[in-house]
């Protein structure tokens, strides 16, 4: 979305990050609340919506598909068109930097009788979409994409959708969600089978809006079945704090000397909290307090204090629950004592950039030794501050940018990034928030 010029930033060594802080609303819930509100009848009230560029791109796309979306202070209202009611957009849909909303919206479009063009920024246009267009084609939709199944992409939705049964070759909540969204406007039952359970926000929220969605273990994996053509009903949504954003504060509070942070109202969905468990495995002083239910999701306050971390094995079966957190987890590993080995990282190759390569470049710029394969990474921790002094190219990857700036807080010479504007996609208040806590990001 952003066409702002590059704006470099430098993070210097820090001491004693202290305070109580909240993080922006969860990006996954924010995207879905706008989409499901569009597919529901009536007015969906949303509190705590993330207002980063990615989510605002989703809001604009929903408007072009017929929804009326209004903002009143921090609250949003979505007047939906109902399942089957999407209108053909007069203009292409610009999805900015968000792979999640792009893949989900392709599912929405696939079973509506319309033609649409979808594109994104330079980073998103490099990301493969065949992982969703292949199963969506089974509903009867047609796609025309660039070489490698990449954006810009044209979709011709089908007027005669048929339900499908799809066995996903990968553990991907985006693939699962795209198939379920397509199944909403197909008669009968659509079933997706995933080899490993992934984040279940789509299933939870669809049930909240009135759809029938079941999950059952099978010999092939977890089978999620949706009954098509429901009448979704508008329902209020309260967006909890984003655990992916909280991860940056949790790691900073653990590795910056003299720190003590409380991060409030953080979602604790079991498919999203692998980072917190990994920090505990490494010896972090981290506790979850005041657990409670908010809009169908468990939330809690996360308390962290500076700790002496030790390298350990981060198993492959934890990857789905922390897939977006490996860049910042690698920062913790860099200052831990001993070697940390992370396995099951193949999904990082197809994020906003090749995130595995990006992690290696970031740590190398800070003087940290790594070894890697196609789906694993070993980091030799220094047991304290890293040399630092490097400048990292973000390549429009907001998580690489934020991770680098936190690495600079424990680097003798600090760390720099070539552009901090990409952070606006998910955590617009990142720099101000950390500086208010005692960091030095210039």
Which pLDDT score, from 0 to 100, does residue 4 have? Answer: 66
CA dihedral (258, 261, 267, 270) in degrees, to 10, reads 30
Which pLDDT score, from 0 to 100, does residue 124 have? Answer: 92
Q: How far apart are CA 356 and CA 349, in angstroms?
A: 6
Cα Rg, the chain, nearest whole Å:
21
* DSSP secondary structure of 298-365: EEEEEEEE----B--EE-GGGGGGSTTTHHHHHHHHHHSEEEEEEE--GGGGGSSS-HHHHHHHHHHH
Name which of 271, 415, 436 is nearest 334 in CA terms: 415
Q: Which residue has the tokens 């070894």?
A: 371
Q: How many CB atoms lie within 10 A of CB 307?
A: 19
- Identical fold for domains 9-25+240-437 and 27-235, yes or no, is yes
Query: Are 113 and 140 a contacting pair, CB within 8 Å?
Result: no
Beta strands in 4-128 (DSSP E): 9-11, 18-22, 43-47, 68-72, 75-79, 93-94, 115-119
Residues with catalytic roles: 324
- The class of domain 27-235 in CATH terms is alpha beta
Running along the chain, 442 residues long, what does each successive block of 10 average in pLDDT? Answer: 76 97 94 97 96 94 98 95 98 94 98 98 91 97 94 97 96 95 98 94 95 96 97 95 97 98 96 96 97 86 98 95 96 98 90 85 98 95 98 94 98 97 92 97 94
Q: How far apart are CA 244 and CA 24, in angstroms?
A: 10
Q: How far apart are CA 12 and CA 179, in angstroms?
A: 45
CATH 1.10.10.10 is the classification of domain 9-25+240-437: no
| pTM: predicted TM-score of the whole model, two decimal places | 0.86
In the chain, domain spans: 9-25+240-437, 27-235
């Amino acid at each position: 979305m952003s066409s702002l010029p590059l704006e470099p930033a430098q993070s210097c060594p820090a001491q004693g990050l202290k305070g109580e802080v909240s993080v922006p609303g969860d990006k996954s819930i924010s995207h879905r609340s706008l989409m499901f509100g569009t597919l529901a009848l009536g007015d969906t009230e949303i509190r705590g919506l993330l207002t980063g560029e990615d989510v605002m791109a989703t809001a604009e796309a929903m408007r072009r598909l017929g929804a009326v979306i209004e903002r009143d202070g921090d609250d949003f209202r979505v007047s939906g068109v109902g399942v089957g009611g999407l209108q053909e957009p007069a203009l292409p849909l610009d999805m900015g930097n968000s792979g999640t909303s792009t893949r989900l919206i392709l599912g929405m479009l696939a079973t509506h009788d319309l033609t649409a063009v979808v594109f994104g920024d330079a980073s998103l246009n490099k990301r493969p979409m065949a992982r969703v267009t292949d199963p969506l084609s089974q509903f009867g939709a047609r796609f025309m994409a660039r070489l490698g199944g990449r954006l810009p992409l044209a979709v011709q939705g089908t007027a005669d959708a048929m339900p499908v049964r799809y066995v996903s070759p990968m553990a991907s909540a985006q693939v699962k969600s795209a198939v379920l969204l397509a199944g909403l406007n197909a008669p009968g039952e659509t079933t997706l089978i995933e080899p490993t359970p992934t984040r279940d926000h789509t299933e939870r929220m669809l049930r909240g809006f009135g759809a029938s969605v079941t999950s059952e273990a099978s010999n092939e994996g977890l089978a999620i079945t949706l009954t098509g053509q429901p009448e979704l009903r508008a329902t209020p949504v309260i967006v909890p704090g984003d655990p992916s954003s909280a991860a940056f504060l949790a790691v900073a509070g653990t590795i910056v000397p003299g720190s003590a942070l409380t991060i409030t109202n953080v979602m604790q969905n079991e498919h999203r909290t692998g980072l917190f468990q990994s920090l505990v495995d490494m010896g972090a002083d981290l506790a979850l307090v005041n657990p409670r239910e908010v809009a169908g999701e468990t939330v809690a306050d996360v308390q962290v204090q500076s700790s002496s971390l030790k390298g350990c094995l981060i198993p492959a079966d934890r990857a789905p629950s922390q897939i977006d957190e490996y860049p910042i987890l690698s920062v913790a590993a860099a200052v831990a004592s001993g070697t940390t080995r992370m396995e099951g990282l193949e999904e990082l190759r197809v994020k906003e950039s090749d995130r595995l390569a990006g992690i290696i470049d970031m740590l190398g710029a800070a003087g940290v030794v790594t070894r890697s394969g196609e789906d694993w990474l070993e980091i030799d921790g220094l047991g304290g501050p890293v040399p630092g002094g490097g400048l990292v190219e973000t390549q429009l990857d907001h998580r690489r940018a934020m991770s680098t700036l936190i690495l600079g807080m424990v680097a003798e010479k600090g760390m720099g990034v070539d552009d901090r504007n990409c952070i606006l996609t998910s955590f617009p208040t990142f720099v101000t928030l950390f500086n208010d806590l005692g960091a030095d990001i210039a």
